[in-house]
């Protein structure tokens, strides 16, 4: 038997993908990645019920998890391929890194807030993302090596 909360989460995810299509996101790989990554795992427990709304949500350190449309739009415009490596500046919750990890060979992500980075690493590890390397640092200085 399916847990009612899992059913609601699945329904909310389907509705979100439908909304993104209606807003012009057409790349099937991007939509599939957004459908596959459980956004509720990247928000605080008190915001889980809002995780699949197409809205910006607050996270720790005064930062935010981007609106799903923005994540989808940016990812679609990048035109990433499975052989690509990507440098992400500002790991935040790790949500965008997870999306990119499904679409590319490797993601390098840098975050200046150590508590955010620690949480993102834990989330990505728990979800089985092995092609993401994360470090704490100033993204304006890039990742020289």
Distance CA(29)–CA(12), nearest Å, equals 19
Q: HEC string of 67-104?
A: CHHHHHHHHHHHCCCCCCEEEEECCCCCHHHHHHHHHC
C-beta atoms surrounding 2 within 10 Å? 7
Residue whose structure tokens are 């790991």: 91
Q: Residue 136 in 3-state DSSP?
A: strand
Catalytic hit among 18, 66, 83, 93: 66
Catalytic, 93? Answer no
The residues annotated with a catalytic role in the active site are: 66
């Amino acid at each position: 038997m399916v847990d009612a909360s899992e059913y609601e989460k699945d329904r909310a995810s389907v509705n979100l993908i439908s909304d993104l299509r209606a807003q012009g996101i057409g790349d099937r790989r991007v939509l599939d990645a957004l459908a596959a990554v459980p956004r509720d795992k990247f928000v605080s427990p008190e915001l889980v019920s809002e995780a699949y709304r197409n809205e910006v949500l607050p996270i720790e350190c005064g930062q935010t998890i981007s609106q799903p449309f923005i994540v989808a739009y940016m990812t679609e415009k990048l035109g990433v391929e499975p052989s690509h490596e990507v440098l992400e500046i500002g790991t935040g919750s790790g949500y965008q890194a997870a999306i990119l990890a499904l679409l590319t060979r490797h993601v390098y992500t840098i975050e200046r807030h150590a508590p955010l980075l620690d949480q993102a690493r834990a989330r990505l590890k728990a979800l089985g993302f092995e092609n993401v390397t994360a470090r704490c640092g100033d993204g304006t200085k890039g990742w020289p090596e």
